[in-house]
Structure 1
Amino acid sequence: MSAHPYFDVTAALLTQHGKERALAPLFRDALSIRLVVARGLNTDWFGTFTREFPRRGTQADAAHGKACWASRLARLEFGLGSEGAFVPGPFGVGAVDVELVTWVDARRRLRVTGAASAPSVHHHQLVRTEPELVDAVRRCRFPSHAVVVRPDGPHGARATRGLATWPELEAAFQGARRRSANGTVFVENDLRAHVHPSRMALITRAAEDLLQRLQTLCPRCAAPGFGRARVIPGNPCRCCGSPTTEALADEFGCVACPFRDSRPRAAAAADPERCPQCNP
């Protein structure tokens, strides 16, 4: 592995929520990469889950921006950034956490991203009474997952974040209720990684996906980051043979050169239920 272009390098990570504790061992064990935390920029600028600062651009833009700023602030060739997003689960039930971890190589001008997604904890509820509060935080998996409270609703002023003990939760709830115009308090998960262990575990999985890509060199130009670029649909219907929306192949690609490699999936023909001809 010592011949790898990223072996034994130092990279900067932009975080203020302790992500280095989860990521540093992974990068050290995979490629002997040393991670240092870049200082000098509040990551809230890229957007906050509690809506004080809207996200600038897409989730991918935010992860890439953090990685670029990490490289600049630390004056290092390599930067690392991560960004999470919560989207509705299947049929609108529950929430799915999507995590991206992006590596930038300033000299080679390369950008490689790892990803992971899974159902996660993302509950929010408007409450008035202490029994309602207890029900809300139970759904938030409190106290292992911290919560946020604020008066009136999701955009109420003076949110109190990082609540992880019953005494501080009780004090924050009473304070928010006193400030509320109608006696209601909005309770939600604190989605910052250092107080949301389910998120931190998924960030770890996204970093593992990134490292797998970084360790895979392009067969043509030997650049790091070769991996799956897209899924090609069109698996034929078992009944009529028409192309369906099911995956037919995976296209792997390089982040540095135009090389692409299409790899068919060894799968059975598609069920007619997924066929636009048999099941329009």
Structure 2
Amino acid sequence: MNYKLFANRKILIVSKHKKEQVIAPLLEIFGLESVLSTQFDTDLLGTFSGEISRKDDAVTTLRKKCQLAMEVEGFDLAIASEGSFGNHPSVFFAAADDELVMLLDKKNNLEIIGRELSLETNFDEAIITTEAELEAFVNKIQFPSHAVMVRPAKKDFSYQKKGVTNWEDLEYEFQYIKKEFGSCYIETDMRALHNPTRMQVIAKATENLVEKMKSCCSICETPGFTVTEAVKGLRCSLCNLPTKSTLKYVLECQKCHHQEEQKFPNGIEKEDPMYCDYCNP
């Protein structure tokens, strides 16, 4: 394993929500000294509450986080994370947390991304008009270990309280917003420092990143030698025709563009006929 690109270097952790708690320990294996960003405000690129919309996709936003923070604070190596919440792409009607963690190395022109798509999330929102509805909502989202945000409506930011973690404060805010605005919108506070469940998903995404950092090109030894393409065509065990299941992965080096194939990545050389469009149309 080629750790010399990272050894004895400082890496800037671009976060204002205590993500360094799970990211920094995982980077120690490379001999990196983690330094928390203090001068760059990541909220400028978007907030979870919505008052500042994220203008770019998650990867572009991550790249901007790293680049801008490095420019402001004088680093050539940075790491940041970005999360998205919504319906799971394949498990219908289930909420999902999609976390990306990017390492950007300006010195070596290297970009490595780790990812974790998880069903482990308390992401939720509601319009509430009664204390019973309020209590029912917080009971299902692991309150008070997981904080909530409250405001008059989803798109109304004229009054907002974030990071609410005790019942007395929440009840007061609910009564005030209901009296002043007629109804109250509540949502889970998905900022990592207020959401232990999300923090653990970020840790898993960082673990995925670390494994990619450990994976080096067999030709030039550059880290980040990872899968760039999944090729379909695993053959059916009954008719021997190609199916839509993955036959192989293609791994490519960012630096020298050397490629290697990894056949049968799921551990099977033939697919079950139930997944064959010919045998099971």
TM over 0.5: yes
Superposed, 1:56-95 pairs within 5 Å as 56-89=55-88, 90-95=90-95
Q: CA deviation at 1:143?
A: 0.8
Q: CA deviation at 1:148?
A: 0.8
Matching residue of 2:24: 24
Letter in 1 for 2:134: L
Q: How far, CA to CA, are the matches of 1:141 and 1:268 in structure 2?
A: 43
Q: How far, CA to CA, are the matches of 2:3 and 2:178 in structure 1?
A: 61
The answer on whether the counterparts of 1:14 and 1:69 sit within 8 Å (CA) in structure 2 is no
Q: How far, CA to CA, are the matches of 1:71 and 1:42 in structure 2?
A: 12
Letter in 2 for 1:269: K
Cα distance per residue 1:164-184 (max 9 Å; x no partner): 11111111111211222xx22
Q: How far, CA to CA, are the matches of 1:249 and 1:71 in structure 2?
A: 37
**Greater relative contact order (Cα < 8 A, sep 6+):** 2
Cα distance per residue 1:80-102 (max 9 Å; x no partner): 11100113034532211111110
Cα distance per residue 1:200-229 (max 9 Å; x no partner): 111111111111111222111111111222
Cα distance per residue 1:73-120 (max 9 Å; x no partner): 221110111100113034532211111110111122111111112111
The answer on whether the counterparts of 2:39 and 2:69 sit within 8 Å (CA) in structure 1 is no
The answer on whether the counterparts of 2:2 and 2:222 sit within 8 Å (CA) in structure 1 is no
The answer on whether the counterparts of 1:46 and 1:62 sit within 8 Å (CA) in structure 2 is yes
Matching residue of 2:226: 227
SS in structure 1 opposite 2:198? helix
The answer on whether the counterparts of 2:212 and 2:225 sit within 8 Å (CA) in structure 1 is yes
Unaligned ranges ≥5, structure 2: none
Matching residue of 1:43: 42
The answer on whether the counterparts of 2:85 and 2:96 sit within 8 Å (CA) in structure 1 is yes
Q: How far, CA to CA, are the matches of 2:45 and 2:31 in structure 1?
A: 29
Q: CA deviation at 1:257?
A: 2.2
1:278 aligns with 2:279: yes
The answer on whether the counterparts of 1:13 and 1:37 sit within 8 Å (CA) in structure 2 is yes
Letter in 1 for 2:98: V
SS in structure 2 opposite 1:92? coil
Superposed, 1:1-280 pairs within 5 Å as 4-28=4-28, 30-89=29-88, 90-119=90-119, 120-151=121-152, 153-157=153-157, 158-180=159-181, 183-265=182-264, 266-280=267-281
Instruction: Quote the sequence identity (%).
Output: 29
SS in structure 2 opposite 1:173? helix
Cα distance per residue 1:25-69 (max 9 Å; x no partner): 1112x1121111223222112211211111121111111211222
Structure 1 residues 103 and 3 mapped into 2: Cα distance closer, same or farther (>3 Å)? closer
Unaligned ranges ≥5, structure 1: none
Q: CA deviation at 1:268?
A: 4.5
Structure 1 residues 252 and 172 mapped into 2: Cα distance closer, same or farther (>3 Å)? same
Q: CA deviation at 1:156?
A: 2.1
Q: How far, CA to CA, are the matches of 2:169 and 2:20 in structure 1?
A: 27
SS in structure 2 opposite 1:156? coil
Q: CA RMSD of the aligned region, Å?
A: 1.7
Q: How far, CA to CA, are the matches of 1:172 and 1:216 in structure 2?
A: 50
Letter in 2 for 1:162: G
Instruction: Give aligned pairs, total.
Output: 276
SS in structure 1 opposite 2:39? coil
Q: How far, CA to CA, are the matches of 1:53 and 1:243 in structure 2?
A: 47
The answer on whether the counterparts of 2:128 and 2:185 sit within 8 Å (CA) in structure 1 is yes
